[in-house]
Amino acid sequence: MHSIEKPVLHTIVIQKSKFIAYLFPIFEKKEIELYIHQIRQKEKDASHVCYAYRFDNLEKCTDDKEPSGTAGMPILNVIKQKDLHNVLCVVVRYFGGIKLGVGGLYRAYTCAIKEAILKSSIVSLIKGYKIQIIFSYVHMKDIDTILFNVDITQKDFKDNITYTFLISEEKYSCLKEKLLYYVDKLIVMDSLLLKDK
């Protein structure tokens, strides 16, 4: 399985219509609506904001008032052909005054997203987890040593210390016993796909 390393923006013009393709790697489901909302705000004058995404086992696409099957489905088809996961692809269209017809629209949206993917860096994905651990201050040095090469996304220092981190399935199976020795609580918050480093 693959995804893209970072967001990509690519614009093409076909028969005076401008197609702006946005690609985003997605790590949490809530990011999808957030990115779509941001693009709708940024591209307020656009004729259409069409998109497709694949996240975990979810797939969705929308034509946003383009003829049925001419925008969202071609975007989703390209994502699937390229075996991309955890990715959101949004294509914004500014109508240029010339109707492209059903076949022309299908080809235009396909072309916009294919070219955007060509500009992106593709990364492999591996299974992993989002984990939270709670432990006392006396074990901070031990925990930091165990999690030396782990992506800690959040640290909270209150009565106890709470770390939230992303870890591959393989690395977690190696570190789990060591962590359990020092932590008061270990919570597997989510299963997800991570970039293979």
Query: Is 101 in the same domain as 180?
Result: no
Same domain, 46 and 25: yes
Assign residue 36 a region (left: φ > 0; alpha: ψ between -120 and 50; beta: otherwise).
Answer: alpha
Q: Across residues 69-92, what is the average pLDDT?
A: 96
Indicate the residue among 87, 104, 120 that finishes a domain: 120
Last residue of a domain, one of 82, 97, 120: 120
Q: How far is CA 155 from the centre of its chain?
A: 23
Residue 57 has pLDDT above 90, yes or no: no
pTM of the model: 0.77
Whole-number pLDDT of residue 47: 94
Range of the domain at 151: 125-195
pLDDT class of 15 with cuts at 50, 70, 90: very high
Q: What are the phi and psi torsion angles at 128 (to 5°)?
A: -160, -170
Give the pair of three-digit tokens for residue 134: 């709670």
Q: What is the CATH number of the domain that holds 59?
A: 3.30.230.30
Residue 1 is predicted with a pLDDT of 82
CA distance 98 to 181: 67
The pLDDT value given to residue 197: 65
Model confidence pLDDT, tens digit, residues 144-195: 999 999 989 999 999 999 999 999 999 999 999 999 999 999 999 988 778 7
